[in-house]
Amino acid sequence: MGWCARINDGGMPNATNSPYSTDPKTTPVTVLGLGAMGQALAGALLKSGHPTTIWNRSAGKGDDLVARGATRAASAAAAVRAGEVVLVCVVDYDASQAILEPLAADLSGRVLVNVTSDSPERARAAAEWAAAHEIAYLDGAVMIPTVMVGTPEALLFYSGDEAAYRKHEELLKSLGGQSAYVGADHGLAAVYDLSMLDFFWTSMAGLVHGYALAAKDGVPASSIAPFLQSHFSLLAMLIGETAKDVDRGVYPGEEGNLAMELEGVEHILHAAERRGLDVSVLRGVRDVAKRAVDLGHGADSWTATVEGIRKPGA
């Protein structure tokens, strides 16, 4: 979920050869990058019993991890040589590639797992670099905040080298019990990440806008919240059916057609304008729905707005 941050520098591991273990519960792991998320990932690995080596580009991070049993490496190369699995979690792919490119020879024979947040295109480019150097490569996306890392509910996505994922699945699931492999295309973890964050942030925008609208008439957000929670259960019910309709390109509108629902959006938009609120998001919702109606989907369900999204120039 975009939770990785920068990296640090430090002391020394057992460094000559990767001390591979036949026991997946004691596979040695290296973590490059000790931002808040990198530290959380290293902490979860330590808790699961994995010998963990840490490295950060700038000094001053990781003391707590060392106190808990992590080994601080003197250099990135020494850190890499200490692990069978090398996990990198930094601010973006510019930062990760700057660290990894000089380490290609050291990474040979190891599994590189990059959970740095970026675009699918950047993930695929990093995978091409790894393939050129014969490095087993997994791209990942962390979908939870630091406090959830290592819990049964935590979700991380992985894509790329399936054999590498299956070999180290137990280790990777120690970072999050809901972790999932989503395909051989290295860009897919980022695609899943972006899709889910698209839903999350647009939903959060609607949530705070709804609160702001109610507040203009003296209704506090805390009064609306219990009803929104029950309303959200309806949204949860719609997720699966909406996915089926989007995939099929069929949008049955017998229970409520788009033309009628567009009128409802217009009412909300006008009410918000009269109350002096920013309506740019609502205008976007209205415009996409209107475009879908103009494309001939007025009798279809709200899901047909996907056609307005797919054809912004129509």
Q: Own/partner pairs for 101-105, CB < 8 Å, 24+ apart? A: 101/129, 102/76, 102/77, 103/76, 103/77, 104/133, 104/135, 105/133
Across the chain, the runs of DSSP E, i.e. the strands, are 29-32, 52-55, 71-72, 85-88, 111-114, 136-142, 156-160, 180-181
Query: Within a domain: residue 6?
Result: no
- List pLDDT tens digits, range 5-49: 333 333 333 333 334 444 566 899 999 999 999 999 999 999 999
Domain that holds residue 120: 24-187
Boundary (domain end) residue, out of 154, 187, 220? 187
The mean pLDDT of 96-107, rounded to a whole number, is 97
Residue among 86, 62, 71 nearest 11 (CA): 71
**Is there a single domain that holds both residue 39 and residue 179?**
yes
Query: Within a domain: residue 19?
Result: no
Q: Which residue has the tokens 């009410």?
A: 271
| 181, two tokens | 């492999």
Higher per-residue pLDDT: 212 or 9: 212
In this prediction, residue 5 carries a pLDDT of: 38
Angle CA 86–89–93, to nearest 5 = 105
**Is there a single domain that holds both residue 103 and residue 129?**
yes
Percent with pLDDT over 70 in the chain:
92
In this prediction, residue 2 carries a pLDDT of: 53
**Is there a single domain that holds both residue 43 and residue 85?**
yes
Query: Within a domain: residue 58?
Result: yes
**Is there a single domain that holds both residue 238 and residue 136?**
no
Q: How far is CA 4 from the centre of its chain?
A: 10
The mean pLDDT of 49-65, rounded to a whole number, is 94
In this prediction, residue 23 carries a pLDDT of: 58
In this prediction, residue 314 carries a pLDDT of: 75
pLDDT at 270 over 80: yes
In this prediction, residue 233 carries a pLDDT of: 87
Give the list of residues 6+ apart from residue 213 with CB closer than 8 angstroms, or none: 268, 271, 272, 275, 277
Give the list of residues 6+ apart from residue 115 with CB closer than 8 angstroms, or none: 4, 37, 41, 87, 88, 89, 140, 141, 142, 156
CATH classification of the domain holding 55: 3.40.50.720
Query: Within a domain: residue 13?
Result: no
Residue among 30, 54, 172, 53 nearest 110 (CA): 30
Quote the pTM value: 0.88
**Is there a single domain that holds both residue 137 and residue 259?**
no
In this prediction, residue 313 carries a pLDDT of: 85
The mean pLDDT of 217-245, rounded to a whole number, is 94
Boundary (domain end) residue, out of 187, 213, 238? 187
- List pLDDT tens digits, range 158-198: 999 999 999 999 999 999 999 999 999 999 999 999 999 99
Query: Within a domain: residue 238?
Result: yes
**Is there a single domain that holds both residue 112 and residue 80?**
yes
Contact criterion met (CB below 8 Å) for 221 and 214: yes
Mean pLDDT of the chain: 92
| 78, two tokens | 């020494």
- List pLDDT tens digits, range 80-91: 999 999 999 999
**Is there a single domain that holds both residue 155 and residue 223?**
no
**Is there a single domain that holds both residue 230 and residue 132?**
no
| 311, two tokens | 């054809």
Contact criterion met (CB below 8 Å) for 36 and 7: no
CA 153 → CA 179, 232, 298, distances in Å? 9, 20, 40
Boundary (domain end) residue, out of 187, 213, 246? 187
pLDDT at 94 over 80: yes
Say how many domains are in the chain. 2
Beta bridge partners of 52: 29
Query: Within a domain: residue 209?
Result: yes
| Predicted confidence band of residue 112 (pLDDT cuts 50, 70, 90) | very high
Query: Within a domain: residue 15?
Result: no
**Is there a single domain that holds both residue 40 and residue 183?**
yes
Query: Within a domain: residue 10?
Result: no
In this prediction, residue 21 carries a pLDDT of: 44
CATH classification of the domain holding 203: 1.10.1040.10
* C-alpha torsion angle, residues 276, 280, 286, 290 (rounded to 10): 130
**Is there a single domain that holds both residue 56 and residue 30?**
yes
| 31, two tokens | 């973590």
In this prediction, residue 16 carries a pLDDT of: 30
**Is there a single domain that holds both residue 162 and residue 256?**
no
**Is there a single domain that holds both residue 211 and residue 295?**
yes
| Lowest-pLDDT range of 4-8, 215-219, 224-228, 286-290 | 4-8
